[in-house]
Structure formats: C-alpha cells, structure tokens
Amino acid sequence: MRRRQLLRYVGAGSGASLLAGCTEGSDEQLDLGEDDGESADDGASDDQEGDENEGVDDGDGEDDVEDGNGEDDAVTEDNEDGNGEDDVGNGADEDVSDENGEQEEHDDQDRRDEVDGGAELWHTFTAGESDQFDSILETFNTEYDATITAEEVGDLEDRTQSAIPAGDGPELFIWAHDWIGNYHENGFLSDQGGNLTIDPTAHFGNSADVVTYDGDVVGLPFAGETVALACNREYVATLPETFEEVLEIAANHHDPANNVYGFCWPQDAYHVSAMPHGFGPGYYDEDSGELTLTDEGTVAGFEYIVDNVWEYMPQDPDFQVQQETFFQGQSPFYVTGPWNLGNFENNGLEVDVIPLPDAQGITPSPFTGLQLFYFTAAMGQDPNQEAAALAFAEWFTTDVDVLRELALEQEFIPVHEAFGLDGTARRDLPQSTQAFSIALEQGTPMPTAPEFQNIWEPVETEWRNVLNGGRDVAQAMADAEKQIRDAW
C-alpha cells in the first residue's frame, strides 16, 4: 500500500495533508537491535556495511532516489527462504514441499518456455518507483523474450472497473489487497491457482491466504505495509521494550507549554487499529461477517489509547497536526509507516523504528496491507498473454534479488519468506525495514470482504467523538456499528 492507497484509510480531513507530507525516499539503516528483533540498548545506530541509500527531493513533487555512491546494495551471496530452500528467480530449479512433505519440483525454465507474447500491467507507482520497476521489467522481458508493458494509471479504480468488464483491461494490475472481495464478486478477477508453477504458501507464508478468496488464487503479493513506532533519538536514548516504558519517556518530555508533546499518533481508523486488534478482535470478523467493535476487548483497546496515550498528544487528532509535530522535532514518538522513512532525514531527524511494544503484556496488532499483482479476467482471453503475465508475476514475487533491491531503494517491505524472521535474506535489510517487517508479522490483514469498506468513516467519526467530545467508548462503538449496518 503506497501513499495513494493509504488515502483510502484516513479521514477526509487528513487526505490532502497526507499527499503533501508523504514524499517517499530512502532512509539510513536504523538500529532496531539484534537481528532477532530485540530492542537495542542505546539510540545510536550500529555501523552498517555497504552503501546507504538517501532520498533526494528535487522539488518536483516526485521521488528521486539514488544510492550513496551510485551502486546497488545487493548482496551477492546465495539466499535461502524461511524453509531453508534456495530462492532463485533467474530460471533455476526451485523445490517446494507438497502437503505430504515430499519435494515437488517447479522448474522456472518450464514457465520460460511457455512465454510467447506479452501482457499489459497497470500501476500507480511514483516516478522514482516507476523508473526502477521499468528497469526490472526490462530485465524480465530480455530474459524471457517477452513483451510485458507497464502503464502508470492515476485513476486506477475507475479505469479498472470500466475497462475490465468491457474486455479492455490489463492482464495484471498492482494495488493493495483490500479490493479483492469486491473485484472478485464483480467478476473482474481470474483464478490462477491451477496454473501456478510455484507454491504460494511456501514463498509467502500466511500472506498467501490473503490473496485467496473463496478458494480462488487471484494474485501474488510482493510487499506489505503497516505502522510501527518511530523514536526520535534526541529524546530516546534507550529504545523502550514495553509500552509502559514508552509512556514513561513520553511523560518525562511532555511540555505542551513549550510545544513539546510526549507522543504523536494520527487518530484515524487505520492508524489506531493496533490496540483494538491487539486487545480484542478489532473491527470486524471476516470469518463470520460480524462486526466486533463492541467486543469487550476491542473497547478495551480503544480505552487504552484514550486513558493512557491521548493526554500526551497534541489535542487535535488530525493526521497533519500529529505528523508535523513530530517532523518539527517536538515529540519523541510517532506512529507511522514506511512511507515516511525518507522524510525523517529530510526533516533533520535521527530516528529509530521499532514494532509497537507490548501494552499491559498484549502485543499490538495494526492493520496490514499487501501490495500484489492482481490477476484480472483478461487472463482468460488469450493463453499466450495469460502465460506471459503469470511468468512475470511469479518471477517478480519470488526473485530475492528483485525484492531486496526494492526494499533498499524504495522502502518496500518484502513479504517473501526469505525476508521473514527465520529467513537468511532478512539480514540484508536496513534495521528500520526489519522493524516494519516484524510489525507486519504481528499485524492483522485488512479484511477483503466488500462490506468492510463501509467501516472506515463511522469508526473514525465516533472515535473522534470520544477524543474531542468525551463520549463513552462502548456507546460510541455501538453507534458506529449501527451506522455500518444501516449502510449494509
């Protein structure tokens, strides 16, 4: 989920400010601690080997990224995925265990031989992301003798919803996973589970479940996003291990009379989701199709924020106010996502990123979004185009070198098992990226059910009534549930 996609999950009052404030760039390698995800003992970054990428803003509103010395940070040694298998994306054999534990061999060369033609792909990448994607695409087209074409589409939702049913849409498009339910039920997507030469679960773990709807495999994921805790080293010398330690640091520095606040946290329904989904089931149970906003645990998660954190925050919950306070160096903490990694340096901040620590012994579980290649209904119109599209999607999402390059230069958070907690490629990532990767594993995937899209506005409206109007949390969430059901 890149910045244009995030606009769907923040309130209308936050949308414009988000576009203005989220210019993407690369960050330095930040110190999360040891590779097992433990917090560091001090706020200074360990020396990192290799070149560091720095974001450069040329003032044109787009994101230009270059490596510190013009060279890639890619590690040349062989990498293994979380299951100990070699990850190879350049035509080598790949072994995947089947359900009986036996090795089922998938040969990328077989897929290469199937490619005889091209396919069309739509995306919403920024200029910097698009340049890198085009370079990766050129590599694939050369190696596979294919003609995959990519087009940046600003109004992707409108374009796909009109073009696909008319038979004029692309074979692939890239977006966050929350469209899956609506697009599947409208017949916009194609089940390619029987045509894959890879085992999605072996490569993507639990993320493979997210791209499966009613038993149909409708895409392949390659990156994810969620929120974590940014810690300003000016205030935070020792990274906190619990939320109680976070609050202690916040209280020590909270001085609103001098425009210093202990904590910054946008209070839209997306950013605050960590506590309701950690303390309870959160907003919605996708298995049962039932709302869970009034569940005792969900209410307790919201209450934790209003009872323990809100007092240390700027008393305007809007995104822009919370973000600008942190960017101006006026707070030790900020709950945000990887889209802001480059902005920390741009604003002269030295920042460490850690997953949201446990609160009262409970692990926060923020909403997560997967970025994926959607398989559209156009896949079934021409077998050659279908084969080319599948070959590219499989190659891109399983090539560790490609995923590493995107992580180092564009702050994409890989969801491939090779970059998971037990994956050997994880050590190649900057510590800030590792922190977001851990946060992804702790998080809760946004539901794909079409009716879930009716939840955002009522939850945010009633939550603001709690913060600004002193409403009881349980009653506010009951009112939100009523509004959502009325919309259903």
What interhelical angle do 296-304 and 473-487 show, nearest 10?
Answer: 120
Average pLDDT of the residues in 102-108: 39
What percent of the chain clears pLDDT 90, i.e. is strictly above it?
69
Q: What percent of the chain stands above pLDDT 70?
A: 77
pLDDT reported for residue 426: 86
Q: Which residue has the tokens 């080997």?
A: 49
Confidence at residue 22, expressed as pLDDT on a 0 to 100 scale: 42
Q: Say yes or no: 242 and 253 in one domain.
A: yes
Lookup: tokens for 91: 């035509």
* Pair 262, 213 in one domain: no
Please report whether residue 327 resides in a domain.
yes
User: Among candidates 389, 441, 446, 442, which has minimal Cα distance to 415?
Assistant: 441
Integer Cα distance of 231 and 235 in angstroms: 8
pLDDT value, residue 10 = 54
Kind of pairing, strands 118-123 and 147-152?
A: parallel
- 431 with 480, same domain? no
Give 364 or 82, the one with higher predicted confidence.
364
- DSSP annotation string for 71-126: S-----S--B-TTS-B---SS-EEEEE-TTS-EEEEEHHHHHHH--SEEEEEE---
Q: Is residue 86 part of a domain?
A: no
Classify burial at 27, counting beta carbons within 10 Å of its beta carbon; exposed 0-12, middle 13-18, buried 19 or more. Answer: buried
pLDDT, one tens digit per residue, over 403-423 is: 999 999 888 999 999 998 888
Chain centroid offset of residue 135 CA? 22
Whether the per-residue pLDDT at 424 is higher than 90: the answer is: no
pLDDT tens digits for range 162-185:
999 999 999 999 999 999 999 999
Under the banding of pLDDT at 50, 70 and 90, the label for residue 50 is very low
Please tell me the total count of domains within the chain.
Answer: 2
DSSP string, 377-428: GGGGT-HHHHHHHHHHHHHHHH-HHHHHHHHHHH--EE-SGGGSTT-GGGGG
Same structural domain, 315 and 429: no
b or e along 55-93 (b: 16 or more beta carbons within 10 Å of the residue's beta carbon)?
beeeeeeebebebeeeeebebeeebbbbbebebbbeeee
Tell me if 287 is assigned to some domain: yes
Total-model pTM: 0.77
What pLDDT band is residue 111 in, cutting at 50, 70 and 90? Answer: low
Q: Looking at 412, 429, 444, which one is the last position of a domain?
A: 444
Using an 8 Å Cβ cutoff, are 94 and 88 in contact? yes
Per-residue model confidence (pLDDT) at position 380: 85
Q: Which of 410, 427, 444 is the C-terminal boundary of a domain?
A: 444
Shared domain for 134 and 197, answered yes or no, is yes
What is the number of other CB atoms lying within 10 angstroms of the CB of residue 213? Answer: 20
Task: Please check whether residues 148 and 221 belong to one and the same domain.
Answer: yes
What local confidence, expressed as pLDDT, does residue 86 receive? 40
| 9: confidence class by pLDDT, cuts 50, 70, 90 | low
Range of the domain at 117: 106-225+370-444
Residue 239 belongs to a domain with what CATH number? 3.40.190.10
Cα–Cα distance, 430 to 353 (Å, whole number): 10
Query: Which DSSP letter does residue 273 get?
Result: G
Answer whether 124's CB lies under 8 Å from 156's CB.
yes
Does 96 reside within a domain? no
CA quadruple 33, 35, 36, 37: dihedral sign = positive
Q: Is 362 in the same domain as 239? A: yes
**Model confidence pLDDT, tens digit, residues 238-295:** 999 999 999 999 999 999 999 999 999 999 999 999 999 999 999 999 999 999 999 9
CB within 8 A of 137, min separation 6: which ones? Answer: 148, 150, 392
Residue 325 in any domain: the answer is: yes
State how far the Cα of 374 lies from the Cα of 264, in Å rounded to an integer: 35
Asked whether 217 and 209 are in contact (CB, 8 A), the reply is no
Query: Does residue 68 form part of some domain?
Result: no
Q: Are 458 and 348 part of one and the same domain?
A: yes
Mean pLDDT, range 15-36, rounded to an integer: 37
Residue-wise pLDDT tens digits, 189-225: 999 999 999 999 999 999 999 999 999 999 999 999 9
Crossing angle for the helix pair 473-487 and 456-469, nearest 10 degrees? 160
- Let me know whether 308 and 232 are in one domain: yes
> Do 454 and 440 belong to one domain?
no
What is residue 304's predicted lDDT score, i.e. its pLDDT? 98
Confidence of residue 117 (pLDDT cuts 50, 70, 90): confident
Mean pLDDT over each residue of the chain, to the nearest integer: 82
In 3-state terms, the chain is what percent helix, strand and coil (to 5)? 45, 20, 40
Residue 76 is predicted with a pLDDT of 35
Would 126 be classed as within a structural domain?
yes
Residues, the chain, total?
488
219, 141: one domain: yes
**What's the rounded mean pLDDT across residues 346-362?**
96
396 and 261 fall within a common domain = no
